[in-house]
Amino acid sequence: MDWSFYAQELVPALNQGLVKTILLIIPSASIGLLMGIVVGTLRAYGHPLLRKLGDGYAGLFRGTPLVVQLFVLYFGLPNLGIYLEPYTAAVVGFILCTSAYQSEYIRGGLLSIRRGQLLATQALGFSRIQSMLWIILPQAVRRALPGCSNEIVYLIKYSSLAYIITFIELTGEGKILATKYFRFTEVFLAIGLYYLIMVTVADFGLKKLEKRLYIPGFGKG
């Protein structure tokens, strides 16, 4: 076995791609979750017009393939005079897509909270915004967290699509190396191992977060 290929070519290239992948995932996951909370809240409690706009946004980005969205952002927008760098286009595409899914989880969590709680907080003198921020949303986010965590795990794997718009992350680095040396099996098995490790670490951390935020008896029948 040619260990020099692994030590001198494969591992350094994939590590370089791993850094770029992490730079994609962190802003996409964090901003996407925040946007999902905002859009999900508007879809559940917003003005009827805002609800329709939120539903339309979620329907558009959940109903079209992510790869098509990335192509539109990177190859389509220049026709309108808007030019995005590969990294920017990838991050924007991931944020728009993942926030649409996150909004659905948040909306479901909000709708699971009895509206009587909102009325009770307003009777105690809370404004509608204060009630949402301090009473309703914390409960909804706890209930939506498993779904939101699952979407973050999916996002880690979605990031492999960035190379199709010329942002060379983990998968892109591996594809270049595999094409150069015609060692597709070893390279893509290694790439799969990298993603498996990332997903395992993320899943472990998210489950720890779920346990930390868990309230005994909350959500139980």
Predicted pLDDT of residue 29: 96
What distances in angstroms separate CA 184 from CA 19, 66, 127, 168, one per listed residue? 22, 25, 59, 17
Domain boundaries, the chain: 3-213
Model confidence pTM above 0.85: yes
For 3-213, give the CATH class: mainly alpha
If one counts every other C-beta atom within 10 angstroms of the C-beta of residue 142, the result is 16
Helix (H, G, I), strand (E, B) or coil at 55: helix
Write out residues in the chain with pLDDT < 70, as ranges: 1-2, 217-221
Predicted pLDDT of residue 6: 73
Tens-place pLDDT, residues 118-147: 888 888 888 888 888 888 898 899 899 999
Helix (H, G, I), strand (E, B) or coil at 113: coil
Predicted pLDDT of residue 2: 66
Please, which residues have CB within 8 angstroms of residue 27's CB and are 6 or more apart in sequence? 91, 95
Predicted pLDDT of residue 10: 86
